Structure 1
Amino acid sequence: MPDVRTRSSWLTRDVILLSFCSLFADVSTEMLYPILPLFLTGVLGAGGSVVGLIDGVAQATQNIVQGFSGWASDRMQRRKPIALAGYLLSAVSKPLTGIATAWPMVLGARFLDRVGAGTRSAPRDALIAASASEEHRGKAFGLEGVGDNLGAFLGPLIAVLLLGAFRVDMRVIFYLTIIPGLLAFAMVLFVREQRVDFAAKAKVDINLRRFPRAYWKYLLATGLFCIGNSSNAFLILETQSAGASVGNTVLVYAGFNLVAALVSYPTGFLSDRLGRRNLLLTSFAVFFVAYGGFALTVKVWLVAILFVCYGAYQGTSALSVRRSPPISCRASCGRAASAGTVRSSG
């Protein structure tokens, strides 16, 4: 089999499979995510602080685990088995939310789900990087981002359809998330992993001096940004508190993800030409405008518009920092560059 890096086409079989994998995985996640804050506050009687706690623990868990999964995949020189384990854990843990009778049970289910999400992230990105030549990786990640964000758009729509048209209980929706989760797992099964030619470390490399100064500047900037950022769960609650119904709140969230999906591929395409830093700065500008609007208005229609437009930040920021390093680079380093973007689901 010829080395994938010599191919002129970036649209490889594995890129397509992994894009569908991200689509199904996000359908599973986003069937649950927009109704989870409403389930916690409306059914279990939890407060907004509990919603923030659960989402914060979930995001922190994912960010921590993905660093170790990148190291593990480097040491094994295998990406696919670790990615498969992560997708399977996420698929089987989401339905556990449906049996929760108190918020700590939801916290446990979300923790397991995000362990799975963190486990799969680095090896999946390395698989994508190995599936397209270096000059076309922006487009490859852009297509995966389309699948990711399109799934994030379809998931809430499915939840609205089940809630509204079929009057399905929220708990049943949590159970049904296992179906697209297992489909995502199945997509990875058919991926043909490319051999990565480098010598893996025998232990975790904690020599911080091997990272360039530009990398530390990036971590500092994104770290400061993340301190001031908040969870999308609070925007969901804000939309409902402004007067939107449960169904309309989920639809607004679906619109947010649709905008993110629509800008994902153009962002990946432009990042190959204009550079990632300029696009990342643009996404930050969108963020500040949107959040400034959230602080200044309580009108439901304006909150909805801001939330939907905020999807431009999501789609741009996620792709503008996900340019993978050369194939010889460690997966953990490649994923560390993308850990700065904040996404509360996926």
Structure 2
Amino acid sequence: MIFKPHAVARACPIVGLVDGIAQAAQNIVQGFSGWLSDRRQCRKPIALAGYLLAALAKPVIGLAAGWPTVLGARFLDRIGAGFRSAPRDALLASSFSEAHRGKAFGLEGFGDNLGAFLGPLLAVLLMGALAVEIRWIFYIAFVPGLLAFLMALLVGERPAAAVAAKARIDIGPQQFPKAYWAYLLATALFGLGNSSNAFLILRTQEIGASLVTTTLIYAGFNLVAALVSYPAGFLSDRFGRKGVLLLSFGIFRAAYIGFAPAASS
């Protein structure tokens, strides 16, 4: 199956709308969930709620008869991702010392991207070898989502240090250090120039790749991310976070420059 260029062009505005709203929701909720987990001094219940919400969103995409339903399901999925991200990271950070934190997050990134590598391969197998309809792929995706929720139930949470209950957060934006604002500005500029993976997939299809080939390319992309995650974390522990982060921005820039002139063979 190959998507025609004009069909891909028609899909771009809808993809941008769906993914833009979904990612915005994730970013907003992520800030709130981080604050809430600090305020309540508990991370696990909030993370569990996010895992469950994301799992429930998958079958809704399969049920969708039009893009508005996909938008709603994707919105729900990203709300779940936003809810779990900050408390999950806080749980991980509290389990390791500063000297080994990069390796800890690198290993977490390895597992996350390895799942994103195996998932598309399983989808190709189901669609190609077993002729499973794509909507059933989303129904099946509920299973690993539910398993992730059940496994997260087994995670222990260390008691948070006792703090006095206060009605307001202790620190305001005016108290954040200049280095934090500089990093926040860099992150905002990166997000402005960054495109969704969905657009990269559409670009791959636009230059003539079949659905199966595009899926395999996406799987390879996630495999590379998985293989790099732990070494990058190790290097950040050994040589510092800033240098590794700058290197990653440079690699990202080179990759996007390469996407621009790509043409069908």
TM-score interval, smaller chain: over 0.9
Does residue 98 (structure 1) correspond to residue 62 (structure 2)? The answer is yes
Instruction: Identify the residue that residue 237 of structure 1 maps to in structure 2.
Output: 202
Q: Give the drift of 1:297.
A: 2.2
Instruction: Identify the residue that residue 268 of structure 1 maps to in structure 2.
Output: 233
Instruction: Identify the residue that residue 126 of structure 1 maps to in structure 2.
Output: 90
Instruction: Identify the residue that residue 189 of structure 1 maps to in structure 2.
Output: 153
Mapping of 1:218-229 within 5 angstroms?
A: 218-229=183-194
Mapping of 1:70-109 within 5 angstroms?
A: 70-109=34-73
Does residue 290 (structure 1) correspond to residue 255 (structure 2)? The answer is yes
Q: Structure 1 unaligned runs (5+)?
A: 1-37, 301-346
Q: Please, what TM-score do these two structures have when normalized by structure 2?
A: 0.93
Q: Tell me, what secondary structure is at the counterpart of 1:177?
A: helix
Change (3 A) 1:224 1:231: same
Change (3 A) 1:198 1:298: farther
**1:270-320 CA deviation, whole Å, 9 max, x = no partner?**
0011111111111111111111111122146xxxxxxxxxxxxxxxxxxxx
Q: Tell me, what secondary structure is at the counterpart of 2:260?
A: helix
Q: Give the drift of 1:47.
A: 2.1
- For 1:96 and 1:212, how far apart are their aligned partners in 2? 43
Superposition RMSD on alpha carbons, in Å?
Answer: 2.0
The sequence identity of aligned pairs, in percent, is 66
Instruction: Identify the residue that residue 253 of structure 1 maps to in structure 2.
Output: 218
- For 1:152 and 1:111, how far apart are their aligned partners in 2? 19
- For 2:147 and 2:76, how far apart are their aligned partners in 1? 19
Letter in 2 for 1:91: A
Q: Please, what TM-score do these two structures have when normalized by structure 1?
A: 0.72
Change (3 A) 1:80 1:282: same
Letter in 1 for 2:17: L
- For 2:256 and 2:207, how far apart are their aligned partners in 1? 15
Instruction: Identify the residue that residue 115 of structure 2 maps to in structure 1.
Output: 151
Change (3 A) 1:124 1:101: same
State the number of aligned residues: 261
In 2, are the aligned partners of 1:46 and 1:103 still within 8 Å (CA)? no
